[in-house]
Structure 1
Amino acid sequence: AGWVHRRRDLGGVIFIDLRDREGLVQVVVQPQAAEAYREAIRLDPASTMARYSLGRVYLEMRQPREAIPVLREALRIEPGFDPAAAALGFAHETLGEWAEAKEVYRRALTDDPNNREFVERLAQAEVRSGNTPAALELYRRLLGEHPRDLNIRTRVGLLLLEQKLFAEAVEVLQGALRQDPGHPDARFYLAIAYEEMKRYEEALAELRQIPESARNYAEALIHTGYVLGQLDRLEEAAAAFARALLVRPGDPQVLYLLGVTQMRQKNFPRAILHLKEAVALRPDNAGYLYQLGAAYERNRQLEEAEAAFRRTLRLDPKHADAYNYLGYMFAEEGINLEESVRLIQEALTLEPNNSAFLDSLGWAYYKLGRLDEALRELLKAVQHGERDDPTIRDHLGQIYFAKGMVPEAIEQWERALSLDSANEAIRKRLERARGLVSRGGS
């Protein structure tokens, strides 16, 4: 099984470089050969080789539709002629006719069940047509028959990753590395398996062994940055993304990841710089625009933030986070409060039980003085939260305090401080409320 690596038409003679797992071979095609093979078929209608050769010429001339009937006829004359079956399957693949290609390979395997080439061709067709479970079954069969084949073992590991069978992928890929400790693909996929299992230190150890000469070195740097970010080693994460940019200058994904990391470092000017570059390269990427808006907001560039969020929503009218962020930003600033409510309600239409969105809506109601509605939404936010959140508890405390329910406010601020002990603003609110109680206030 192979593919066309490069095709050059030099006026009457076509040079085609074909690549497969064994390497590269050059085929020279003269279009007038098609006429010669057609004449051969006219002289000998039963010639399988003439029909096969004509089909190959059509394929090499990028005319798969013309090749198909010729190759089918070759197989009708000689059903077990493997080269014609391989070429016919390839013609259907070229046209994206995966069901037809797979049927050709299955018929060939009916005649010769142990034909490795057709098992591989069928497995690759299953992969390309999106049927990963079927492809995995076929590659597992090949691995059982050829346990020392590193390419097959690595492919099995990759398919196991795609099926989220991470523990089995680790076992298979570790086996590949025992055979060849320098196999960069096996090591990279093993790192990804560890990453998916949140075994970040082990992922990092594998990623750092991938050499600069490896084809996936840039991807390894990107994953290194991600893993370091998960470990909260933000300076090292930013350095890894910066190194990835040296390998892939101007890569929008890397610029985006570097910008997000710099936001986590609270280096908002640098984050904005890199996120703007990412957006300039991918102006239709709503996710990049949204993060740029967030960086502007954190840097107190509110007009720019609003513009970025509105552009995000024009690109993706179902971007719930953008509705919420813009609405919450308005609420925090005490501006456009009616629009703030509408925006957050739109976010909740998309994600009705999102505790952060419920908190935002409650906060917008609070800023409007609609305290009963604010309390209702904040209590729902607490109910739907996956974890106790100090911001929600703080907001709930402020609403209780505004309603004159000081003991309830104190309870919420105490819980907020237990979750965020360094928050001085909450501590001051709590001390004020306790002072009121000690003086007999309510």
Structure 2
Amino acid sequence: MANFNEQGLAYMREGKYEEAIRCFSAAVEQHPDDPAGYINIGTVLVAAGEEEKALDCFRQALKIDKKAAAAYYGMGTVHYKREQFAKAKDMFERALGLGLDDADTHFMLGMSLWRLEMPRLALPYLQRAAELNETDAEALFQLGLCLATLDYVDEAKRYFEKTLELDPRHADAYYNLGVIYAYKDELDAARHMFAAALEAKPDHVFAGYGKKLMEKRLAP
């Protein structure tokens, strides 16, 4: 079964969803009492936009093993995509409680809490996600946003800068650094950051407004 699952995961990474499902289905046929095949099929179906079918697969996995943490994680991703953030939070909490203690689970739980407008509760999960995967630019950026919302401005600035080290074209990181510099009354630095955001993303409306505002304030 491991070979079918491994082959299926390789196909999934290549975006070959039909081939992946064939492999995972073979794994299920070979070992129907192992939840991994169902979880893997569900994961492919989520990627392919077949959310309801994916939920059925995750539920089937949980019938086999009610402690299948990855099945709860998979259900959480579907609820998150549907903007059902309270349900998503519950699923990610269950996955974490069952031992799925990885960067993705912490990140998605943190993001669910963030979207529920609970930044103080989201913060430790986003921090843990960043600790577990220091090369995930988006995790660092979202942590920066959460810190900024909680008025930890200097810490937020550090994470926006780390985001740009990993992704020099991250327009929103430049924009938020611009906001911080404007807040600190460092107007020229703010203008530079807003300009950098526009260079990375020319249709960034807020950066365009921020740049014009800084230019107006800097005018003699």
> Aligning the two structures, in what range does the TM-score lie when normalised by the shorter sequence?
0.7 to 0.9
Partner in structure 2 of residue 268 of structure 1: 119
Q: Secondary structure at the match of 1:208?
A: helix
Residue 423 of structure 1 aligns with which residue? none
Matches within 5 A, 1:65-84: none
Determine which structure has the larger helix proportion and give its number: 2
> How many Å separate the matches in 2 of 1:183 and 1:343?
52
Residues 328 and 360, structure 1, Cα contact 8 Å, conserved in 2: no
Identity of counterpart residues, as a percentage? 23
Supply the distance in 1 between the matched residues of 2:144 and 2:101 (Cα, whole angstroms): 21
Whole-angstrom CA distance in 2 between matches of 1:171 and 1:183: 16
Q: 1:318 aligns with which of 142, 160, 168?
A: 168
C-alpha change, 1:205 and 1:337, in structure 2 (3 Å) is: farther
Partner of 2:186: 336
Report matched runs for 1:39-438 at 5 Å. Answer: 153-171=4-22, 173-174=24-25, 176-177=27-28, 181-211=32-62, 217-248=68-99, 251-281=102-132, 286-313=137-164, 315-316=165-166, 318=168, 320=170, 321-330=172-181, 333=183, 335-349=185-199, 351=200, 353-356=201-204, 359-368=205-214, 370=216
Q: Is the 8 A contact 1:187 1:206 kept in 2?
A: yes
Alpha-carbon distance in 1 for matches of 2:134, 2:7: 37
State the match for 1:131 in structure 2. none
Stretches of structure 1 that go unaligned for 5 or more consecutive residues are 1-149, 372-442
User: Contact 2:103/2:132 (CA < 8 Å) preserved in 1?
Assistant: yes
User: Please, what TM-score do these two structures have when normalized by structure 1?
Assistant: 0.42
**Partner of 2:61: helix, strand, or coil?**
coil
Q: Work out the CA distance in 2 between the residues paired with 1:160 and 1:280.
A: 29
How far 1:259 sits from its partner (Å)?
Answer: 1.0
Tell which structure's C-alpha radius of gyration is larger: 1
Cα distance change of structure 1 residues 170 and 282 upon mapping to structure 2, 3 Å threshold: closer
Distance in 2 (alpha carbons) for counterparts of 1:249 and 1:169: 23
Cα-Cα RMSD: 3.3
For the 8 Å contact 1:207–1:220, the answer to whether it is kept is yes
Residue in 2 that maps onto 1:25: none
3-state DSSP class of the match of 1:209? helix
Q: 1:227 & 1:158 partners in 2: Cα distance?
A: 19
TM-score of the pair, normalised by structure 2: 0.77
Corresponding pairs, count: 215
Secondary structure at the residue paired with 2:113? helix
